[in-house]
Structure 1
Amino acid sequence: MYFQLHNLEEHSSVLESARNELLDMVAEGISLALEDPQKGILGINSYDAQCLRNFISQEHENIMMEWTSYVSRRELGKNPTLFGTIGEAKKWLAQRAPAKLVDGAWLGHIHKITTPFALRGVTKDTWQILSEELGDGDLSRNHVFVYQQLLKEIGCPLPDPQSRDFIRPCYLEAMDDQRSWKAAVAQLLISLFPNEFLPEILGFNMHYELISLEAMMAARELKDLGVDPSYFLLHICIDNADSGHTAMALLNVISYLEMIKATECDSALEEKWKRVQAGYILSQTLAVSPCDGIDFPDSRIEMSGRASKSVPIDPLTRRVIEIFKDKTSISQKYHCQSKVRIGSRTLVEWLDSSSWAHDDQQKHLELLGTLSQAKPWVHPGMGSESRLVQELSCGGRMFGAFTNEEVDILIAWIDALGPENTTWLYYRFTVREPVASRDIVSSLQDPACHHPVLAARSMDKTTTSAFVAEFPDFCFNAGFTTEEQPLNTPCQSQLPDVVALWFAHIGLLENMINVPSRTATSLYSNILLVLRAQAGFAIETHIPAGMAEMTRPSSPSLVEIGLEIVSSAQWTDGANLSCLKDVLLLTRRQGQSEDSAKLAYNMLQWANHPDENLGLLVGLALAFLGLKDAIAMPHELLGEEGQVALKMIVERERKGLLKCVQDIKGMDGAHYRDLKRGYCIGRVALEKCLEKAGQKTTNTLGSSLTEEMKKNGGI
């Protein structure tokens, strides 16, 4: 699964099993945490911002106290904890490579164009943490890259994690810690369905970004061996609880839950809080070292008995409880001679009506948990084959004691206990209605509202051939100039086409950084710079912005600028847009052409295959700089603030995209040809939407790129 999740374009069939695996991992963590429900984050029964702040502060303090004890031991001459020789360090670092080389993956799929607009403030702040994990566009600060350099320094270079070579036996022998693989897969899974699991992602992030005792010890012990500890020092500094990721992740959770508190009902807040807790617990259970998090056992656990502790009851279980409450009130004495035992109880004791009569839900869950493990009466996951059901069915000794509907409910409950259905604990804990992964994945068909979407792969040939046929002689010359006329500012009648393409183009590059291991190159660092500009982040410096980015006055992103354009259009039904899908439906109602509608949809589809369509997508992004230049000119579509913000975005985009062009040209001819084709498609589409200005001149894109290229030595 590790390899498949790194290469989703070729392995989209893994999505269903991926979601099931994620839910199994979360359920396992919940079950373990419920062993002591008053300990840890479960001790905060209901969301309270100050209680949460105090809790995270205490967690941080506990780690620092452990660090102080460690330092004291070392000063007394005690041996290192993690490794004492270069050979031991090499083994330790290699064992942790699967998890370290996906650093940031738990946030890889958040803050997409499909993110509901109301949540974009929350996901933008989360994405800032991802950006810093990836180095903010500075390859030397990219966490995956830094770890790769560390492995090389210590004499243990490994193939790229997304390659098949990475999972070859000769390398797997060195990476033999199953906890590291499990932690890595969980990080790749947790953000895979961002629109469904945002609370869990935020909770996971809040725990994962706590400063790590293991990182502090590793930095000390590597330094003692004369090995560069930069990777671990980077985490120690960037995860600090004042202005770093610990503080950012905490504020992120509070901002999200305060928004839920202000806009939704109490039950919704309770559900979201439980889901934040579930994500936090998942990160705890994935500790690769006993020094980090909770020292939970690795083995797959039997959850049925443990699940009886402080777990809200789901509708199916509630119905089973009601059935047994009704039956035990009249049946106990019928079984007084029975020698059958349900766990440690005799059948008569288990049927004791006094145990069922009161509304003690946790007691009821304990009784059901015992029954769920009482073979042969109950075989988890095999309702019809369980002896209890057979005895209640035709030919059984209790036939007629339960109605047909009651037997069906009992079968469904037993089926839900099976190994493939261990996710029942997740749904029970979070009070969510269960949804089958098959149903979720099969619905991921619309790139305007779903992520991920992997239904279509290659370009729509009818779209591309139509556009290219209208512009057959286009090519970049040696100086990357194009003798094109600048685009006009759109008029009212052109806005439906322009708005749809505007919003669709925002998603062109965003999926290129979904998997952190792919970002450890110059090209993807430059793509990250472009994405930061588009999202409205401050200009990069040599020091991570941290909390300063989250607390500074917000700058408009391309999405906010697009919504301002919609507002300026004064469409009567343009208010209360909640997501990209709403925007595209609105533009169709306002008279959008079939050509632009098709291109908008195709751009969203192509963007879901960033590896296959790398050159095409960068070329399209280049073409849309011309549209932004036109809209940034003074006119009624944008206010002065929006115009200034857009000009700044375009300036940063242009610099970043130029570097991308240089990187792609140095890769291979196919990607560069795709880049030119993508530019051609985008430019022609925009010219169809917007009439050209009267005077022929070298366009802004070409001249600006030429100037930048002269500074950088050309292409």
Structure 2
Amino acid sequence: MLDNTVLNPLASPSQLNTISPKTNKDWVEFFLDPKVNRECKTEYAETYVLSLFDQLNTTHLSWIDQVDQVRQHIQHEHDQTCSKFQSYLDQRKSGLGRNYFPTISHALEFLYKVAPVKYVDGSWLYSSLTHPSLFESKDLSYIYLEELGLGDAKANHVCMYQSLLRHFELEPYINYLDDIYFEQAAVQLALAYIPHDLFPLVIGFNLGYEQLPLHLLITNYELAELGIDPHYFNVHITIDNAHNGHAEKSIQAFIDHYHQAQDKSKYLELVKMSFQMNDFGLSSTNIIQEIDLTQSVYQLLQRKAVVGQHIHNQKCQFNGRSINEWLAQPELISEFIQILIDKQWIIKNRPVEESRFWKLIHDSDGKMFGVFNATEKMLIKDWIQGESLTVRLKRMPVTGDQNWLSKYNNQHELEQIKHQCHSLDDTNDKLALLIPYLSPYYHPRAIGLWATQEVSKLLFPFQTLAL
């Protein structure tokens, strides 16, 4: 069913008070719900975004008021970022260790904690395709289509990130994240459905988002060092380049819309406010700074304890409690782990082969073999061995998987839409049919990928000759 034609009775604009997302995760799920029509999402998006305005301080963004100097300002920021990255490279060459990810497990924790935002990558630009005049937002529309890989799963940014997490079996961990990790994703999705009179918010947010951050360069470099395919991050360096990439197109879109704006001061104020919206939620650097392997191991074992508290041998006891009794109280896990360390079942900062606990979970004849998957064992291994004994993975390329996407495909619906599209002669009619399938919910799915290919050919025939 089409995103803008399906009317959930609870989602009718006349019944807005029946829906009340309260948490950031609620907002994300609301904007991604295909049963809620676009009209309703737009009304909610306006309410949500306007509620953020009181939290914004744009006094440090006065440089945006000098429209003819914005390109130079951003180029200066870009040059400074590159200079800082060169200093980082010089430090690494001198023998200093990684800044972000001492072990593979640090990197994997980062990957799933930034996933809520990566899973809606580029979503705010969906509103450019629903703008009354597509011509006016063409630069931004093309950026969005490139974020969607022009319909190629291997180049669709969300598909790429989903594949990366599936490769390491990290997707389930998203369910355990605190609500704060979904705040930035909620902001981006709200902008995807913002009403047209607030479209400058999309321009300003994109202007800020497309600039090259230092953390992206370092993340890309250190993931590659650890043997984790950094392709998703590398693409954001190459495709966002300041010469002719997304960064340049975002600047040009900002300038073009400024000259078209009837109220230029209001336009600039909205741009500055949404530029600042990039700072909502936890940033990548915040997440990196908060990574704690010990805490991650405790949380992992607490989750396993829910199942394991009934199946261990009652004869094995530690400090007067059986293993089942220890596991029956998840709040005691940290104390239980310390006992295992004290009794040298776990020997920290030594090769894991010296730890009895490791043999139990890793050896094929171990009594806990199979309880932990490969990623979970990597976490435990890095925690036991410490940073000095970290290993490098054998790097395997990870790209969007078209076969995996097929499970999301309603073949009958896809064939129906294809037939409808091919029966239409007017380009605008085709776009009206297809654009809802480029929404943040649909575009990473097979039906959305096909629709993206068709829309790309209709809007940008020269750039998409190879499709």
User: Normalising to structure 1: TM-score of the pair?
Assistant: 0.40
Residue 186 of structure 1, CA deviation:
0.6
Residue equivalent to 1:7: 33
Q: Is 1:123 equivalent to 2:141 in the alignment? A: no
**Change over 3 Å in CA distance of 1:108–1:506 after alignment to 2:** closer
1:146 alignment partner, one of 150, 160, 164: 160
The number of aligned residues is 307
Q: Is 1:24 equivalent to 2:43 in the alignment? A: no
Return the alpha-carbon distance in structure 2 between the equivalents of residues 183 and 100 of structure 1: 10
Residue equivalent to 1:528: 452
CA contact (8 A) 1:204 1:280 kept: yes
**Identity within the alignment, %:** 25
Residues 375-415 of structure 1: CA deviation (Å, up to 9, x unaligned) = xxxxxxxxxxxxxxxxxxxxxxxxxxxxxxxxxxxxxxxxx
Residue 5 of structure 1, CA deviation:
0.8
CA contact (8 A) 1:95 1:177 kept: no
Return the alpha-carbon distance in structure 2 between the equivalents of residues 143 and 171 of structure 1: 18
**Change over 3 Å in CA distance of 1:21–1:122 after alignment to 2:** same
Of the two, which has the highest radius of gyration? 1
CA contact (8 A) 2:148 2:157 kept: yes
Residue equivalent to 2:235: 234
CA contact (8 A) 1:26 1:282 kept: no
2:435 alignment partner, one of 491, 495, 510: 510
CA contact (8 A) 2:111 2:165 kept: yes
Return the alpha-carbon distance in structure 1 between the equivalents of residues 198 and 461 of structure 2: 24
Return the alpha-carbon distance in structure 1 between the equivalents of residues 445 and 34 of structure 2: 20
5+ long unaligned stretches in structure 2: 1-26, 288-417
1:538 alignment partner, one of 437, 462, 467: 462
CA contact (8 A) 2:116 2:174 kept: no
Return the alpha-carbon distance in structure 1 between the equivalents of residues 229 and 465 of structure 2: 24
**Change over 3 Å in CA distance of 1:78–1:502 after alignment to 2:** closer
Residue 541 of structure 1, CA deviation:
5.9
What one-letter code is carried by the residue in structure 1 that aligns with 2:132? P
SS in 2 for 1:210: coil
**Change over 3 Å in CA distance of 1:2–1:93 after alignment to 2:** same
Tell me which protein shows more helix as a share of its residues. Answer: 2
SS in 1 for 2:228: coil
Q: How does 1:650-669 map to 2 (within 5 A)?
A: none
CA contact (8 A) 1:60 1:210 kept: yes
2:147 alignment partner, one of 128, 133, 151: 133
Q: How does 1:113-512 map to 2 (within 5 A)?
A: 115-117=131-133, 120-158=134-172, 171-173=174-176, 175-176=177-178, 178=180, 180-260=181-261, 264=262, 268-286=263-281, 288-290=283-285, 503-512=428-437
Residue 103 of structure 1, CA deviation:
0.5
**Change over 3 Å in CA distance of 1:521–1:502 after alignment to 2:** closer
**Change over 3 Å in CA distance of 1:75–1:26 after alignment to 2:** farther
Residue 521 of structure 1, CA deviation:
3.4
Return the alpha-carbon distance in structure 2 between the equivalents of residues 131 and 176 of structure 1: 31
Residues 458-515 of structure 1: CA deviation (Å, up to 9, x unaligned) = xxxxxxxxxxxxxxxxxxxxxx99xxxxx9xxxxxxxxxx99x874553111111111
1:89 alignment partner, one of 81, 103, 107: 107
What one-letter code is carried by the residue in structure 2 that aligns with 1:231? Y
SS in 2 for 1:82: coil
Residue 274 of structure 1, CA deviation:
1.4
Residues 608-654 of structure 1: CA deviation (Å, up to 9, x unaligned) = xxxxxxxxxxxxxxxxxxxxxxxxxxxxxxxxxxxxxxxxxxxx8xx
CA contact (8 A) 1:18 1:189 kept: yes
CA contact (8 A) 1:154 1:227 kept: no
Return the alpha-carbon distance in structure 1 between the equivalents of residues 286 and 77 of structure 2: 14
Residue equivalent to 1:111: 129
Return the alpha-carbon distance in structure 2 between the equivalents of residues 285 and 54 of structure 1: 26
SS in 2 for 1:534: helix
Residue 210 of structure 1, CA deviation:
0.8
SS in 1 for 2:432: coil
What one-letter code is carried by the residue in structure 1 that aligns with 2:455? L
Return the alpha-carbon distance in structure 2 between the equivalents of residues 537 and 258 of structure 1: 27
Residue 15 of structure 1, CA deviation:
5.3
Larger RCO: 1 or 2 (CA < 8 Å, sep 6+): 2
CA contact (8 A) 1:99 1:184 kept: yes
Residue equivalent to 2:67: 48
Pairwise CA RMSD of aligned residues?
2.9
Q: Is 1:75 equivalent to 2:78 in the alignment? A: no
Residues 139-160 of structure 1: CA deviation (Å, up to 9, x unaligned) = 10111111112112233135xx
Residue equivalent to 1:414: none
Return the alpha-carbon distance in structure 2 between the equivalents of residues 55 and 8 of structure 1: 40
CA contact (8 A) 1:214 1:291 kept: no
SS in 2 for 1:19: helix
Return the alpha-carbon distance in structure 1 between the equivalents of residues 427 and 451 of structure 2: 19
Q: Is 1:63 equivalent to 2:81 in the alignment? A: yes
What one-letter code is carried by the residue in structure 2 that aligns with 1:5? F
Return the alpha-carbon distance in structure 2 between the equivalents of residues 199 and 229 of structure 1: 33
CA contact (8 A) 1:96 1:177 kept: no
Return the alpha-carbon distance in structure 2 between the equivalents of residues 214 and 106 of structure 1: 22
What one-letter code is carried by the residue in structure 2 that aligns with 1:527? A
SS in 1 for 2:194: coil
Residue 63 of structure 1, CA deviation:
1.8
5+ long unaligned stretches in structure 1: 159-169, 293-479, 482-486, 488-497, 543-651, 653-715
Residue 21 of structure 1, CA deviation:
2.3
CA contact (8 A) 1:110 1:194 kept: no
SS in 2 for 1:507: helix
